[in-house]
Amino acid sequence: MATIKVVLRKKANKDGTFPLAIRITKDRKTSYIYLGHNLKADEWVENEQRVKSSHPNSKRLNNLILAKKASASDISIEAETLKDEISSRAIKQKIKPKGGATFFAQAQIYLQRLQDTGNFNCYNADKARVKYFKEFLDGSDVAFTDITYGVLEQFKVYLKSQRKLGERTIMNYLMVIRAIFNQAIKEGVLDQKYYPFGAEKISIKLPQSNKVGISASDVSKLEAVELANPKYDDVRNKWLISYYFAGMRISDVLRLRWSDFQNGRLHYTMEKNNKSGSLAVPEKALAILQKYEHLKTSPDDFVFANLKGMDLKNEFDVKRRIYLDVNFSDKLLTRYVSPLAKIEGKLSMHIARHTFATLAGDKVPVQMLQKLYRHSDVRTTIGYQANFIYKDADEALASVIGN
């Protein structure tokens, strides 16, 4: 059983006063919660845990002490009832959570951690989702306990009817809210019993997305079209490099250095999962690389100039630059390159990856595709490639209705 006691800390402030604090002791380990008031040593009755009546604010301070101590004792007893093995530090976190016990106070901590770890893409998307949830709640902060099943159901309706969002996007909003709940529970801010997700509560099921690449004839058009504007040619080249190297993610394309190419092979580590691999450089890719070789001043130079001069230790800024460059490239592809090449399908940087998967179809064994995609689990490859394999379904349909 933890013991709760109000004490004056032994280390004096510069003015000779001592901080007033709640001391929590459990298993001979101690934690302190400061009450924001300071006293002189002769103003405190230690054995009675009260301020002397000679102090001008003794009545107010003693009422505060009684209230804080009672609240701390209640929370401590509840915490120990729910969980036998709990430390003094965990009890302290229950009594006075870091960052506050309200939802949006914890949301700010969640977003700050994404920023601190350089995760710009998640930060950028989740910041907007938190913002819209707060707007739905009229801009006010709320206790976690106020975010009930009913509130989340209303939020889903609001996103669908007012913001006209699709089911998958709505699930992404709920996943952020769930992540903030999980953070609060993990850090002792919230009890598990208030968790609104799971069986017979709010369930999160991601609908299957429609992944489609462009056709082989569209790829040929993209390869052949004359693009006099150097910006259009540059984004076309990056798209093709992504496609030629088995749908390499555009973030990895922009990180390519000349030193990654050795003895006719590309050796690189995928940024998303840190998996390394090597691929032979196709002649078509080599022809594109030669267009940029005159810009090389050292083997460590980037092939493409997007990240040149950046502080690469600042991962957040690097990912932000990549995000902005990809958005700009997508606009050029959609508005200019695609019409000039007379491409029928939708064109974007990420679709290079889908295009490789579409044209690979069921021609390439799934184990080889797993290696090319650098998936850790073959089930991930099977699930991803299922979006692009049509032969069995087409043959089954034809067997019933004919060609």
Q: What is the pLDDT along the chain (403 residues), one digit of tens a residue?
A: 778 899 998 888 888 999 888 888 888 888 888 888 899 999 999 999 999 999 998 998 998 888 888 877 877 776 666 555 556 566 555 555 555 578 998 999 999 999 999 999 999 999 999 999 999 998 888 888 889 999 999 999 999 999 999 999 999 999 999 999 999 888 877 888 889 998 889 989 887 766 788 899 999 999 999 999 999 999 999 999 999 998 899 999 999 999 999 999 999 888 877 888 888 999 999 999 999 999 999 999 999 999 999 998 999 999 999 999 999 999 999 999 999 999 988 899 999 988 888 888 666 666 776 766 666 676 766 665 666 555 555 555 555 566 5
Asked, colleague to colleague, whether 103-194 and 216-360 share their fold, the answer is: no
For residue 202, what are the contacts with CB-CB under 8 A and spacing of at least 6? 149, 152, 153, 174, 196
User: What is the Cβ-side half-sphere exposure of residue 246, based on CA atoms within 13 angstroms?
Assistant: 18
Architecture of domain 103-194: Orthogonal Bundle (1.10)
Nearest 10 degrees: CA dihedral of 94, 98, 103, 105? Answer: 160
pTM equals 0.66
Those residues whose C-beta lies under 8 Å from the C-beta of residue 117, and which sit 6 or more positions away, are 315
Two structure tokens written together for 203: 């369930």
Kindly state the tokens that stand for 190: 């919230």
Spans of all domains in the chain? 3-95, 103-194, 216-360
Please provide residue 2's backbone torsions phi and psi, each rounded to the nearest 5 degrees.
Answer: -75, 150
Q: Which residues contact 319 (CB under 8 A, 6 or more apart)?
A: 118, 119, 120, 121, 251
Predicted local confidence at residue 211, as pLDDT: 73
Distance CA 72, CA 20 (A): 15
pLDDT on residue 186: 85
At 228 the pLDDT is: 94
pLDDT at 80 (0 to 100): 63
What are the φ and ψ backbone dihedral angles of 18, each rounded to 5 degrees? -125, 140
The pLDDT assigned to 100 comes to 58
**Confidence (pLDDT) at 359:** 82
What is the model's pLDDT at position 219? 94
Report the alpha-carbon distance of residue 320 to residue 254 in Å, rounded: 13
CATH code for residues 216-360 = 1.10.443.10
* pLDDT for the residue 379: 73
Length in residues, the chain = 403
| 142 vs 140: CA distance, rounded Å | 6
Backbone angles phi, psi at 90, to 5 degrees: -65, -40
Exposed, middle or buried by CB within 10 Å (0-12, 13-18, 19+), for 92? Answer: buried
